[in-house]
Amino acid sequence: MNPRTANESPGRGRGVRLAVAVLALALIAVLAAAVVACGGAASDGSSPAAGGAIKQGGVLKIGAQAGNINFDPALFAGAVSDIMLQHQIYEKLVMLGQDFTVQPVLATEWDSPDGKVWTFKLREGVKFSNGEDFTSADVVYTMDRLRSKELGSPMADVYANIKSVVATDPTTVVFTLGEIDSEFPASLTDYRTLMLCRSVKDPAKNAVGTGPFVLDSISAEDRAVLSKNPDYWGTDEQGNKLPYLDGVEFVYSPDIAGQVQGLQGGALNWVGGLSSEQKQTVEGNPDLKVDTTTTNYCFEMQIRVDRGPASNLAFRQALMAGTDRQAIVDLVAPGVSDPGNGTLVGPAYADYYLDESVPYDPERAKQLLAEAGYADGVSIKLVAQITDPVPAVATAWQAQMKEIGVDVKIQQVPVDVFYAEEGTDNWYEADFCFVDYGTRAIPNAYFQLALTSTAPWNYGRWKNPEFDSISEKISTELDLAARADLYKQAQKILQDQVPMINFLVTTAVAGQSADVDGAFLAPDWAQSMFRDAHFTE
C-alpha cells in the first residue's frame, strides 16, 4: 500500500461560493465552500474560454510509466499512471481545485444543517459510457464498496465515520455520519471515490465511467488508447460539447527522463512530475512550455519511536535541529519545492499552516545528542526508495547528519520492494525511511491516516493522547478560526515530538507542447485531467 495516494474541468479559477446551510452555530459562514464546476467550469458544466484559438480534434499523447492495469478505484495499488488513466474515464462527486477548494463535478451542490447529515444534489442528464443513466443509486453502490472491509477496500477505515449513504431520489444522496465532520465534502476528493456503474460486475476489468474519454485498448508494454466519449455531459461556455480532443494516448516508458526526451522530439505532448532540471530543459525549448501548480506532495522521513535511538525524544529532536531543510531544497529541488515547516501540513493550506519552524541549529543538535546518550556519535540505517528526488535528499541529509555526529547508512531499494507488504526494508518496518505523500484536501487526513494512535498507517508507532484529541476536535469544530488554531497546535506538537520530519513540499510541474492548452494540472498531479485540453491553431 503506497501512502502517497491512499492517499486528488479543467480550467483555472472561476469560482462560485456554495453556502452550506446551518443551524444557530452559523455554519453558513464557516463551512461555505468555494466551488467551481469540473475543472474550473461553471456549475452548469461549461468551461471557461481558452487562452488561444481552439483546434477541434487531435490525439494528445501523454508520457507515463506503466501501472497495474486495474480499473477498480477501490482496490488498485495506486500507481500514478493508473490514477491518471482512471481520471479520464471516471469522475467524482467533487474534486480538489488548484486553490485547494472543493469543487463540484457530478454533484452540483451540498449542504448540512449540523455537520453530521450531508445532502448532495447530483447533476442531471449524466450517462455512463455504456448508455446507462448515472443516478444516486450508483453513488450508494460506489461508497458502499469503498466502506467494505469484506471487499478489502483500504478506504474502509478512512470512511468508517459514514454510517449510511441513502438515495432519497435519483438525484439526491444523503450521507449520515457517526460524528460531526466539518470537512466531510473534502474527504470525497480522494482519488478512490471515482463513481462506478452499479451494473458492472467486475470494475477491475471493465472500465465504465461518466468521464470525457472511454478506453479502447491498453497494453502495459506499450500504451493505453482512449477516444472521446460521444455522450459526455460537459460543454464549454459557447455550448460546444466536450472534450475537444478526439482522444488521448498514454505512452508508457520506464522513467520521466525518457518521457522528456519524447516531449522534446515531438513523440509526446504532455509529461508530468518534472524535476527542477527537467523543468529547465523544457523551458529552454521554444517548442515546449511549462505548467505549474501548488501541491502538498511531500517527501518525509518516517521515524519509528518504539525502538532504537529514536525511542529517545532528545535524539529525535536532535535530528530535527540538525536538519537544514532549506539547504536541501536549494540543492536538490530549487524552484520546484518548499521546505515547509517540517510537518505534513504545507503552505498551500493557508490559514491552517503554521508559519514557524524549528531553527536549524547544529550546536543545539549536538547538545541534544549528548542528552540522549550519544555524545560520541551514533549510526543509523536510512531506507530510501529509488525514486526522484529521494536518493538525492537522502545523500544531502546524510552529509548534514555527519556534521552533528550521526552516521547515516543509506539503503536504497526499488519502489516495489519499498512498498511491499513483506520485508524489513519496506516503508512500514524500517526504523528510518523516506516516504512520499500525495496531496490531500485537508491536513487532518494525514493525521488520521498516519499519525494518530489508531491510524492505519502509524508506521512510527507514535502515540500522543493530546495530538489524538486535537485531531478529533478538528473534525467536529465548526468555526473556521478555531479549527485553524487546532491545526497549528497539532503542528507544534509534531515539531516538538518529531515522529517524522518532512523535508520538502513539491510544486507540480508539467511540460507540454507549445500548441497545447487547457490541460488541468491537479494539486496531486496524478489526478490531472484532459477534458478541456486542446491543440491551438
- Write out pLDDT tens, residues 308-325: 999 999 999 999 999 999
What is the domain range of residue 377? 295-507
Tell me how far CA of residue 173 lies from CA of 99, 111, 503, in angstroms: 26, 11, 41
Closest CA to 207 of 223, 195, 189: 195
Domain tally, the chain: 1
Longest dimension (CA), the chain: 72
pLDDT of 134 over the 60 cut: yes
Is residue 85 pLDDT above 90, yes or no?
Answer: yes
- Tell whether the model's pLDDT for residue 515 goes beyond 50: yes
b (16+ CB within 10 A) / e for 193-212:
bbbbbbebeebeeebbbbbb
- Residue 522 covered by a domain: no
CB 31 within 8 A of CB 182: yes
Give dist(CA 156, CA 181) in Å, integer: 17
Query: Any residues with CB less than 8 A from the CB of 488 and at least 6 apart, and which?
Result: 352, 354
Q: How much is the mean pLDDT over the chain?
A: 88
| CB-based contact 352:305 (threshold 8 Å) | no
SS3 376: coil
The answer to the question of residue 276 being in a domain is no
CATH at residue 418: 3.10.105.10
User: Which 8-state DSSP code applies to residue 252?
Assistant: E
Q: Is residue 228 part of a domain?
A: no
Q: pLDDT at position 80, please?
A: 83
Asked if residues 393 and 334 have their Cβ atoms less than 8 Å apart, the reply is no
The distance of Cα 164 from the centroid of its chain, to the nearest Å, equals 26
pLDDT digits (tens, 9 = 90+) for 435-444: 888 899 999 9
Cα torsion 435, 441, 442, 445: sign: negative
Q: Give the pLDDT band (50/70/90) at residue 523.
A: very high
Q: Cα–Cα distance between 130 and 74 in angstroms, integer?
A: 20
Name, in order, each residue with C-beta under 8 angstroms of 170's C-beta and a sequence gap of 6 or more. 122, 133, 135, 136, 137
What are the beta bridge partners of residue 535? 55, 516
Query: How buried is residue 254: exposed, middle or buried, by Cβ count under 10 Å (0-12/13-18/19+)?
Result: exposed
- pTM of the model as a whole: 0.81
> Is residue 282 included in any domain, yes or no?
no
pLDDT value of residue 4: 41
Question: Does residue 252 belong to any structural domain of this protein?
Answer: no
Measured CA to CA, the distance from residue 215 to residue 74 in angstroms comes to 18
Reported confidence tier of residue 78, pLDDT bands at 50, 70, 90: low
165 — pLDDT class (breaks 50, 70, 90): very high
Closest to 535 measured CA to CA, from 49, 63, 10, 54: 54
Report H helices in 76-220.
80-89, 136-146, 184-187
- Residue 335 forms part of a structural domain: yes
E strands in 54-202: 54-55, 59-64, 94-96, 102-104, 107-111, 117-122, 162-169, 172-177
Assess contact for 225 and 97: CB atoms under 8 A: no
What confidence tens digit (pLDDT) does each residue in 26-70 have? 333 333 333 333 333 443 444 444 457 999 999 999 999 877 777
Domain assignment present for residue 438? The answer is: yes
Q: What is the reported pLDDT for 156?
A: 84
**pLDDT for the residue 153:** 80
C-alpha cell at 18: 456554495
Please say if the pLDDT value at position 9 is more than 80. no
pLDDT tens digits, residue range 320-372?
Answer: 999 999 999 999 999 899 999 999 999 999 999 999 999 999 999 999 999 99
- Distance from C-alpha of 446 to C-alpha of 458, rounded to nearest angstrom: 10
For the chain, the first-to-last Cα distance in angstroms comes to: 44
Coil vs helix vs strand at 154: coil
Of all residues in the chain, the percent with pLDDT exceeding 70 is 90
Cα separation, 121 vs 124, in Å, equals: 9
How many Å apart are CA 31 and CA 165, to the nearest integer? Answer: 21
In 3-state terms the chain splits into helix, strand, coil percentages (rounded to 5) of 25, 25, 50
pLDDT at 44: 42
Please answer whether residues 403 and 431 qualify as being in contact, where contact means their C-beta atoms are separated by less than 8 angstroms.
Answer: no
Q: Which residues of 305-318 are buried (b: 16+ CB within 10 A; e: fewer)?
A: beeebbebebbbbb
> CB of 333 within 8 A of CB of 504?
yes
User: What is the rounded CA–CA span in Å between residue 406 and residue 318?
Assistant: 10
DSSP state of 450: I
Window from 218-222, 279-283, 317-321, 418-422 with minimum mean pLDDT: 418-422
C-alpha 142/C-alpha 156 separation (Å) is: 12
- In a domain, residue 130? The reply is no
